[in-house]
Structure 1
Amino acid sequence: MKNTIKRLLLTLGILAPGALMAQDATISTDTAIYFMAGFVLVVAVLVLVVAVIVLQVLKTIVRQEDEKKAAVQGIELPEPVSFWSRFMRKASDAVPIEEEETVLLDHNYDGIQELDNHLPPWWKWLFYMTIAFGVVYLFVYHVTDTLPLQQEEYDNQIAEAEALKAMRLKDSPKLAIDESTVQYVEDAAALASGKQVYDNNCSQCHRSDGGGSIGPNLTDEYWLHGGSIQDIFTTIKVGVPAKGMISWEPLLSPEQMQNVASYVMSMVGTNPPNPKAPQGEVYRAGEPTEEALPDSVQTVAIR
Structure 2
Amino acid sequence: MKKRIKSLIASIPKTFLGLYSRLLIILMLLFCLPANSYGQQLQQPTSGEENFLFYTVIAMVFFVMLLVLIVAIYTLLILKRIIKNEKGEAEEVEETESGWDILTAKLTDAVPVEEEETVLLSHDYDGIHELDNHLPPWWKGLFYITIAFAVVYIAIYHVFETAPLQIQEYQNELLAAAEQEEERKTGDEDLINEDNVTFTDEVAVIEQGKSLYEVNCVACHRKDGGGLPGLGPNLTDEFWIHGGGVKNIYKTIQNGVPGTSMISWKTQMSPEDMRAIACYAITLFGTNPPNAREPQGEKYIPEEDTPATE
Q: Would you say how many aligned residue pairs link Structure 1 and Structure 2?
A: 211
2:175 to 141, 156, 159: 159
Q: Secondary structure at the match of 2:259?
A: helix
Q: Distance in 1 between matches of 2:195 and 2:122?
A: 84
Q: 1:243–1:81: structure 2 CA closer, same or farther, 3 Å change rule?
A: same
1:98 aligns with 2:114: yes
Map of 2:150 onto structure 1: 134
Give ranges in structure 2 of 5+ residues lacking alignment.
1-91, 305-310
Q: Secondary structure at the match of 2:124?
A: strand
Q: Deviations over 1:104-128 (max 9, x none)?
A: 1112223332211111111211122
- The 5-angstrom pairing of residues 69-88 of structure 1 reads 80-88=96-104
Q: Secondary structure at the match of 1:284?
A: coil
Tell me which amino acid in the other structure corresponds to 1:229: V
1:120 to 121, 124, 136: 136
1:219 to 225, 236, 239: 236
Q: Distance in 1 between matches of 2:99 and 2:290?
A: 90
Q: Please report the TM-score for the alignment, with normalisation by the length of structure 2.
A: 0.59
Map of 2:41 onto structure 1: none
Q: Secondary structure at the match of 2:102?
A: helix
The CA RMSD measured in Å over matched residues stands at 2.7
Query: Which structure has the larger Rg over C-alpha atoms?
Result: 1
Give ranges in structure 1 of 5+ residues lacking alignment.
1-75, 288-303
Moved more, 198-207 or 247-256: 247-256
Tell me which amino acid in the other structure corresponds to 2:253: I
1:247 aligns with 2:293: no
1:233 aligns with 2:253: no
Map of 1:67 onto structure 2: none
Structure 2 contact 232–261 (Cα < 8 Å) conserved: no
Q: Distance in 2 between matches of 1:230 and 1:251?
A: 19
Q: How big is the shift at 1:173?
A: 4.2
Tell me which amino acid in the other structure corresponds to 1:278: P
Q: Secondary structure at the match of 1:105?
A: strand
Structure 2 contact 244–300 (Cα < 8 Å) conserved: yes
Q: 1:77–1:224: structure 2 CA closer, same or farther, 3 Å change rule?
A: closer
Q: Considering Cα pairs closer than 8 Å and 6+ residues apart, tell me whether 1 or 2 has the greater RCO.
A: 1
Q: 1:137–1:286: structure 2 CA closer, same or farther, 3 Å change rule?
A: same
- The 5-angstrom pairing of residues 1-303 of structure 1 reads 80-173=96-189, 176-213=191-228, 214-286=231-303
Tell me which amino acid in the other structure corresponds to 1:192: E
Q: Distance in 2 between matches of 1:258 and 1:206?
A: 17
Q: 1:139–1:216: structure 2 CA closer, same or farther, 3 Å change rule?
A: closer
Structure 2 contact 236–287 (Cα < 8 Å) conserved: yes
Q: Deviations over 1:21-60 (max 9, x none)?
A: xxxxxxxxxxxxxxxxxxxxxxxxxxxxxxxxxxxxxxxx
Q: Distance in 2 between matches of 1:151 and 1:139?
A: 18
Q: 1:168–1:194: structure 2 CA closer, same or farther, 3 Å change rule?
A: same
Q: Distance in 2 between matches of 1:275 and 1:142?
A: 64
Q: Deviations over 1:178-202 (max 9, x none)?
A: 3333322333322222212111100
Q: State the identity %.
A: 52
